[in-house]
A and B are shown apart, each in its own frame.
Chain A
Amino acid sequence: DQQVKQNSPSLSVQEGRISILNCDYTNSMFDYFLWYKKYPAEGPTFLISISSIKDKNEDGRFTVFLNKSAKHLSLHIVPSQPGDSAVYFCAARSNSGYALNFGKGTSLLVTP
């Protein structure tokens, strides 16, 4: 059963605008959340993370928001650039283990 869900398989955004990628989870034992970016024929690249004790983490153009009560997190990219076009995976770690649970990914296309 999928514990991390990315319900939007794809998203298209114009260059310069905000991209918002969403992720929902079902396991209340998750205590650490991560976003990965993946280009074709490459391995996933770590982008940004957030601990469950925080509700926001920012790194340059990337901000992750966590709403624990709703079991929801989102990744905001501002401003979006064509080089941001990739598949984005949301992942979560349980406080009882070291493995990551991944969502199915959202394919972002940033158009000029």
Chain B
Amino acid sequence: DAGITQSPRHKVTETGTPVTLRCHQTENHRYMYWYRQDPGHGLRLIHYSYGVKDTDKGEVSDGYSVSRSKTEDFLLTLESATSSQTSVYFCAISEGVGPYEQYFGPGTRLTVT
């Protein structure tokens, strides 16, 4: 298994509070991704990073920001959490230049009350 950890694994927070999720990898892969999984939607890309300090938006980026100051860490921040951001969040990594497989972390279940 790829060395990817996510923290916390579970979090309950209140509407309007800031939340930061962390993804840590030990594979030294260049590319890192944040997805959310919701019933009826599959996996949707929030943001991704193609190098330290290099990030770009995905399909559902509104309300989220990311940062990557080190190769191994990719942070996802909800500046002011809303109930619509209740979801399971997955981090993924890839080498980026063929093969194109992405390897996923175990996920963080976030509940915004």
- Give the B-binding residues of A (Cβ under 8 A): 6, 32, 34, 36, 41-46, 49, 89, 91, 93, 98-100, 102-105
Pick from B33, B58, B104 the residue with the most CB of A within 10 Å: B104
- Give the A-binding residues of B (Cβ under 8 A): 4, 31, 33, 35, 40-45, 48, 50, 58, 90, 92, 94, 96, 99-107
Task: Report if A104-B102 is in contact (Cβ < 8 Å); known contacts: A42-B107, A98-B48, A98-B96.
Answer: no
Does more than half of chain B's interface fall in helix, strand or loop, or is it mixed?
strand
Q: Are A93 and B42 in contact (CB under 8 A)?
A: no
Alpha-carbon separation in the docked complex, A91 to B33 (Å): 15
Q: List 22 A-B contacts (CB under 8 A).
A: A6-B42, A34-B101, A34-B102, A36-B104, A43-B104, A43-B105, A44-B90, A46-B102, A46-B103, A89-B42, A89-B43, A93-B100, A98-B48, A98-B94, A98-B96, A98-B100, A99-B58, A100-B45, A102-B35, A102-B42, A102-B44, A103-B42
